[in-house]
Amino acid sequence: MALALPVLAWLAWPVHSLAVHRLRAVLVCVWALLFAADAVVRAYLLDAYRAAPDSTVVLAAAANTTAREAGEYLSMHWRALAVGAGLVAAALWLVARSARSGVRAAVPWPRWGVALVCLLLLPSVLGYASKPWRRLHPVAFWVQWNGSVHALRQGWRDQAAQRDVALERAKAAAPVLRHTGPSTVVLVVTDSINRDNMGLYGYARDTTPRLQSMQALLGDDMVVLRHAWSVDASTVESLRNIFGFGEHAAAMASSAAGPGGAASIGEGLHAIALARAAGYKVWWMSNHDDVAIEQEHARLADVVDMVNRTPGRAGASLDGELLDCLQEALDDPAERKLIVLHLMGAHPHYRLRFPRGENPFDDTADAVDVQLAGQGRPAWVRRFRHEYDAALLYHDFVVSETLQLARQGARPGEYRAWMYLSDHGQEVGHGSDRAGHSPSTASGYRIPAIVWRNQAAQPVSATMGHAPFRTDWAGWTLADVLRIDWPGAQPERNVLHPLYRWQPPVLPPGVVSFTD
């Protein structure tokens, strides 16, 4: 308001020319439109994501979003868009009406009126004199914001040097394998799966019948981590922590703590580079068309296969397209293989994450519908929940098939393992009347995580699956699943190791218990 006030106060200055009067009206309306739109965008980001427009999470999302994706996002959140547009229109109407009746003839002002205007304009003078305030002007701020987004996107496109450094660091870490025979490890990283919607984790709907059958068949060899959490509510940040041994999260905590903050713990290692340095041939197979993820992670692999060729997360490519790719990689004669599958999971739009017409949850009301109605969730949220659960049912088919394929065809004495986790959760009417990514509620961080091995390195205890798990420590568990040792390994951060020691992360929603 301090920055907007000078031009608004111009309406009180008398002008005699009709042309100048009209010009003033247009300029004041444009000026008000800029500030009103800026306010609405900031309010929406603060309410939905507890984030400022120039925060890391917003800049990364914008840099990683195409025009088509932006349109898809707006089509899903059209209600918020309509409310914001209404507020901007109301503000513009009010200012336009005031502008039309701006002062035309000189009117004597009382002294108290002059003093009041001067007093009101004083914050404006201070605001424009202060660089931190001045940078918040909509024109200056959004021009700089756009430059930051372009710079971030350009940095992602030119990361060959960083990948070379990652490989050199991995070699310098001198990793060694505990297993001398053939090894095959399948890592399934999915997107936007909330464990609260999985029958495997106690959900009322039968969304994971295949995984539950696999659990009954495999017993203790299939460790379901009951209390798994992501430390990020967005994909780019989460994958950095998963494959970077939590270095990104530690750096953020260190920055927040100031000069005395803790140093990063990952020594600059990347899990894929470490696997290659240890002798694994690595595949990255993805149903995402994502430049950031491809440049930061996928291109570190020996073989890259991006099956989704359509930019935008509303593409119709289903995760089942990756099953044939997985089989081809499993048939490869390499002695040691790490196969990374990056699934779309249940990322919005939910209705496109399962085959058309295969939604068994939208026919009749069930206990979940009754619960949502009792919580006062609107009809559109309940509809999204139906679609989300249908996406999880299809996801169950794909994930269970990857496990089944990983178990089949092992050579004599071959070590095989399979690890599955989601990058972050999803809010679909669990704690609020909204659907989508949610940094502000616990649902945005509640994820599934499962590990299967045909030869467990350590005896599986009855309580192993009940230990809390965090994604920024997932690299240590993955290294153990790969049976890689190196001098910098930290078994206390590996959920499968007897020396594991849980430390709760600090999450924006302020989660009190990590074992619920």
Per DSSP bridges, beta strands 228-229 and 427-428 are unpaired
The Cα–Cα gap between 73 and 284 comes to 27
**pLDDT confidence band for 205 (50 / 70 / 90):** very high
Q: Is 259 exposed, middle or buried (0-12, 13-18, 19+ CB in 10 A)?
A: exposed
The Cα–Cα gap between 354 and 256 comes to 41
**Distance between start and end Cα atoms, the chain:** 44
Residue 449: beta bridge partners? 421
Supply the pLDDT for residue 102.
64
pLDDT at 83 over 70: yes
Residue 190: beta bridge partners? 422
**How distant, in Å, are the alpha carbons of 30, 419, 479, 500 from that of 503?**
52, 22, 19, 10
Taking the whole predicted model, whether its pTM rises above 0.85 is answered as no
pLDDT digits (tens, 9 = 90+) for 369-419: 999 999 999 999 999 999 999 999 999 999 999 999 999 999 889 999 999
The Cα–Cα gap between 2 and 255 comes to 31
**pLDDT confidence band for 249 (50 / 70 / 90):** low
pLDDT (average), residues 261-266? 37
The alpha carbon torsion through 360, 362, 367, 369 (nearest 10 deg) reads: 160
């491809």: which residue's tokens? 294
* Helix segments in 349-446, DSSP class H: 367-374, 379-407
**pLDDT confidence band for 422 (50 / 70 / 90):** very high
Residue 92: beta bridge partners? none
pLDDT (average), residues 284-288? 95
pLDDT at 460 over 70: no
Supply the pLDDT for residue 268.
86
pLDDT at 257 over 70: no
Give me the count of residues in the chain. 516
The Cα–Cα gap between 287 and 318 comes to 8
* Helix segments in 5-110, DSSP class H: 5-9, 18-49, 56-63, 67-76, 78-100
pLDDT (average), residues 462-474? 90
Structure tokens of 399?
Answer: 């994930």
**pLDDT confidence band for 459 (50 / 70 / 90):** low
Q: Which of 278, 246, 308 is nearest to 180 (CA)?
A: 278
Judged by DSSP in three states, 507 sits in: coil
Q: How many CB atoms lie within 10 A of CB 470?
A: 25
* Helix segments in 278-378, DSSP class H: 291-296, 322-331, 367-374
Give the torsion sign (CA, 439, 317, 481, 165).
Answer: negative
Supply the pLDDT for residue 208.
98
Give the torsion sign (CA, 9, 10, 15, 19).
Answer: negative
Give the torsion sign (CA, 371, 376, 379, 382).
Answer: negative
Supply the pLDDT for residue 263.
32
The Cα–Cα gap between 287 and 290 comes to 9
Instruction: Report DSSP state, residue 460.
Output: P
Supply the pLDDT for residue 270.
96
**Residue % of the chain over a pLDDT of 70:** 91
Most confident of 97-101, 290-294, 467-471: 467-471
Pick the range with the lowest mean pLDDT from 150-154, 246-250, 330-334, 490-494: 246-250
The Cα–Cα gap between 267 and 347 comes to 32
**114 vs 443, which has greater pLDDT?**
443
pLDDT digits (tens, 9 = 90+) for 154-197: 877 778 889 999 999 999 999 999 988 999 999 999 999 999 99
Supply the pLDDT for residue 313.
55
pLDDT (average), residues 192-214? 98
Structure tokens of 427?
Answer: 């809010």
pLDDT at 261 over 60: no
Contacts of 480 by beta carbon, 8 Å cutoff, 6+ apart? 457, 491, 494, 496, 497
Instruction: Report DSSP state, residue 261.
Output: S
**Residue % of the chain over a pLDDT of 90:** 59
**pLDDT confidence band for 515 (50 / 70 / 90):** very high
18-49 helix and 78-100 helix, angle to the nearest 10 degrees: 150
pLDDT digits (tens, 9 = 90+) for 120-134: 788 888 888 888 888
pLDDT at 290 over 60: yes
Supply the pLDDT for residue 123.
84
Supply the pLDDT for residue 255.
46
**pLDDT confidence band for 271 (50 / 70 / 90):** very high
Within 13 Å of residue 358, how many CA atoms lie on the same side as its CB? Answer: 13
Supply the pLDDT for residue 369.
95
With residues binned 3-state (H G I as helix, E B as strand, rest as coil), the percentages for the chain, rounded to 5, are 50, 10, 40
| Sheet arrangement for strand 281-286 | 222-224, 449-453, 415-422, 183-190, 336-342, 281-286, 303-306
> Taking all residues of the chain, what is their mean pLDDT, rounded to a whole number?
88
The Cα–Cα gap between 63 and 498 comes to 41
